[in-house]
Amino acid sequence: MQKQANIVIVGGGAGGMEIATKLGKKVGKKGLAKVTLIDRASYHIWKPLLHEVATGALDTGTDALNYRSHAAGNGYHFQQGAMIGLDRENKQVVLAPINDDNGRELLPERKIDYDYLVIAIGSIANDFGIEGVKEHCVFLDSTEDAMAIRERLLNKFMRYASNDQLEDQIKIAVVGAGATGVEMSAEMHHAVQQLRGFGYKIDASLLDVTLIEADDRILPKVEKPKISESVARELTKIGVNVMTNTRIVKVDKAGLTTDDGTVIPSDMVIWSTGIKAPDFLNNIGGLESNRINQVMVKQNMQTTLDDHIFAIGDCAACPQPNGEWVPPRGQSARQTALMTADNIMLMLKGEAPKHNYVYKDLGSLVNLSKFHTVGNLMSFMGGGVRVEGRIARLVYTSLYRRHLIEIHGVFRGTLLMLAKGIGRIIHPHLKLH
């Protein structure tokens, strides 16, 4: 009997979850291949929702998906562990040991065999080597990061709320005004409003959020400057201080220092100035990578030096016919995942992977919490159409809806969305613990 091919996917995020589900259903369930998903965490939270986890607007208890139970129902296997290395000669992924809270080893370092490997481990914030960023800033790279921000925010609010003699404002700086920084700034103001609904004596003016951008406008990657202007107006309206043309050169305990020597005092600095792939991916197993550690792939997502290894999503550098690179977005992670599943299925049949990825910018939408949603749709068609308000909000949430349907199927996915909608009506709008 012919040996079953081993397909290993590392990283169960926006891209990895979708490829594992598709391959699990199409080849794993039918016994055509063994599909294994590896993630360092035991549950999946869709990354574009992390800023909501950070402010407590999203409850990880109800929105998290347990990998093991999802794997059991969808024809794939799950192994928890963090990838730390790659042995291409023996076709093995190396996983770090797992320790308990007291540092006792639960599982030793492990090596997992593969015939086909998909690297989908996403990205982390890029500190660009700026002094003090690693030590003094918080990041939105993982659910643990988001929960740590939530705890710090809530602790600060509670301390201030229980003190009749209110001291200074809580000063929060968000560095980097891409979509993540912009959405995080708005979400914090929403959290304060919600806390007041819980009876906390918190005045809106207590929170001083400053959004800092080195470019001359916020959302510099959004093609239409008018969208940046509109979002900046909305942010100012809800009380966010927007600073453009401001380059940070140092972070310390007291706050931020700009290139002209101005000090911006901050109690907490959230760093979101762009991404890089995790450092250990740099030339991992002799594969090619770029200056931000992304693994170099061909347009069919096969790595440039090894046809049995693919990389997708934020950790991959995929060239485009126009000389550009696929941007790190939820949209591209999802699309490259589904296409790579098709290419792997062709290879299982002995055929060449014929699908090549061409990124079409379907649009960029920015959601300012409950305050406003604005963006551009179908950007690849003559500059696209600007949308705002309810329609924009509907389209913004559709990417998550599609993700839920992809990983749960239409029936369960729709039921889940309904349940989440009902949950939002009957449960508190903020998670306080």
Ligand X SMILES: Cc1cc2nc3c(=O)[nH]c(=O)nc-3n(C[C@H](O)[C@H](O)[C@H](O)COP(=O)(O)OP(=O)(O)OC[C@H]3O[C@@H](n4cnc5c(N)ncnc54)[C@H](O)[C@@H]3O)c2cc1C
- Residue showing the smallest CB distance to ligand X in the complex: 13
Min CB(42)–ligand X separation in Å: 10
CB 168 within 8 A of CB 130: no
Six-digit token pair at 390?
């309810």
Residue 207 or 326: the one with the smaller Cβ distance to ligand X is 326
Binding of ligand X by 41 (CB under 6 A) = yes
Residues 6+ apart with CB under 8 A from 277: 121, 122, 123, 124, 289, 292, 293, 294, 295, 314, 315
Residue 15 or 353: the one with the smaller Cβ distance to ligand X is 15
Site string for ligand X, 335-374 (x = CB under 6 A): ----------------------------------------
Residues 6+ apart with CB under 8 A from 397: none
Site for ligand X in 249-278 (CB under 6 A): 278
Site string for ligand X, 281-320 (x = CB under 6 A): --------------------------------xxx-----
Binding of ligand X by 330 (CB under 6 A) = yes
Site for ligand X in 158-217 (CB under 6 A): 179-180, 183
Chosen residue from 8, 23, 37, 50 binding ligand X by CB under 6 A: 50
Interacting span for ligand X (CB under 6 A) from 324-332, 379-387, 404-412, 422-430? 324-332
Interacting span for ligand X (CB under 6 A) from 7-15, 188-196, 246-254, 261-269? 7-15
Interacting span for ligand X (CB under 6 A) from 46-54, 129-137, 237-245, 251-259? 46-54
CA 7 – CA 11 distance, rounded (Å): 13
Min CB(57)–ligand X separation in Å: 12
Number of residues that bind ligand X (CB under 6 A): 33
CA 147 – CA 130 distance, rounded (Å): 25
Say if strands 295-296 and 316-317 run parallel, antiparallel, or are unpaired.
parallel
Min CB(164)–ligand X separation in Å: 35
Site for ligand X in 92-151 (CB under 6 A): 120-122, 140
Residue 257 or 408: the one with the smaller Cβ distance to ligand X is 408
Binding of ligand X by 51 (CB under 6 A) = yes
Min CB(201)–ligand X separation in Å: 29
Strand partners, 309: 117
Residue 125 or 232: the one with the smaller Cβ distance to ligand X is 125
Residues forming contacts to ligand X in the complex (CB under 6 A) are: 10-16, 38-41, 47-48, 50-51, 82-83, 120-122, 140, 179-180, 183, 278, 313-315, 328-331, 333
